[in-house]
Amino acid sequence: MWIECVPNFSEGRDVAVLERLVRAVEAVPRTVLLDQGMDADHNRAVVTFAGTRAAVVESAFQACAEALRSIDMASHLGVHPRIGAMDVCPFVPLEGASHGDCRAAAWELGERIAAELAIPVHYYGGATRTGAARSLPALRRDVRAGCAPDAGPPVAHPRAGAVAIGVRDPLIAFNVELDGPEVEAAKTIAARIREANGGLPGLRALGFLLASKGIAQVSTNVCDVERTSLRDVFDAVLVGAQELGVGVRGSELVGLAPRAALSIETAEHVRLADFDPERDWIEARLERAGS
């Protein structure tokens, strides 16, 4: 059984913190590190790993404990929305695993974080406890409005904030960079193309300024790769940029993508810099892990 876990942490500038988070993950037997990365403007790190249910729960818990020690949300600054040090922790079913397996992992992790680390826990997606599945954007809005957590203390931890734990299908974090700092154009394009506003199915999108690069970015999560391809996203951004008189520089993959969603031809079409199938395809990482 392979369950993937993709926690996002509110630290994208201190490499030493990412190294400690990765060590916490890799210290657990039967956990395989698949990818890691950080971004200074978003002030965010993403660590991807896979393993058995017990292994990924233990790795995620140890990473959350390290985030509590290493990240102080009271002084955190960054353009990406966030609610905590380990901001979001989704479980994804891969080979031999089901959504039910991932749901059990999510709830086990949530109860441990609440009980042992005293951090409020909110569930989303396939881990939602009652009623319809709550999306991550809806969860963030609920937390800002002061909703009670699903587990743990009723108020945010003074250092670690809160954590969102979910179950989802594979998604692709895919960003398109404009060739200038026109952040209002990026926000306008993002609003046009996101599903919530009648845009592309299963697409979430936001516009950000990347101060370190002097450019704006349309940051997206492609949540339904069957209905919306990376080409669809790139072309929609390109059309929007052309209408607003803005150029498009290229695109960026955050983490990994399924082979079927990111062919070599697609990588060329979307101007994905430094594409490497052995590094960027999740199947390639899993094949190496199993060999």
Catalytic residue numbers, as ranges: 80
* Dist CA 8 CA 21 (whole Å): 11
CA distances 20 to 64, 85, 100, 152, Å, are: 11, 14, 30, 25
* Dist CA 87 CA 5 (whole Å): 13
Q: Are strands 163-167 and 8-9 parallel, antiparallel or unpaired?
A: unpaired
Structure tokens at 113: 């974080």
75 burial (CB, 10 Å; 0-12 / 13-18 / 19+) is: exposed
Structure tokens at 185: 């154009």
DSSP letter for 87, please: E
Reading phi first (left if > 0) and then psi (alpha if -120 to 50, else beta), residue 239 is in: alpha
Which one, of 74, 76, 75, 71, lies nearest residue 86 by Cα? 71
Locate tokens 């990412």: which residue?
A: 18
* Dist CA 77 CA 10 (whole Å): 9
| DSSP assignments along 221-265, one per residue | EE--TTTS-HHHHHHHHHHHHHHTT--EEEEEEES-B-GGG--HH
Which one, of 69, 88, 73, 92, lies nearest residue 17 by Cα? 69
Neighbours of 10 (CB within 10 A): 26
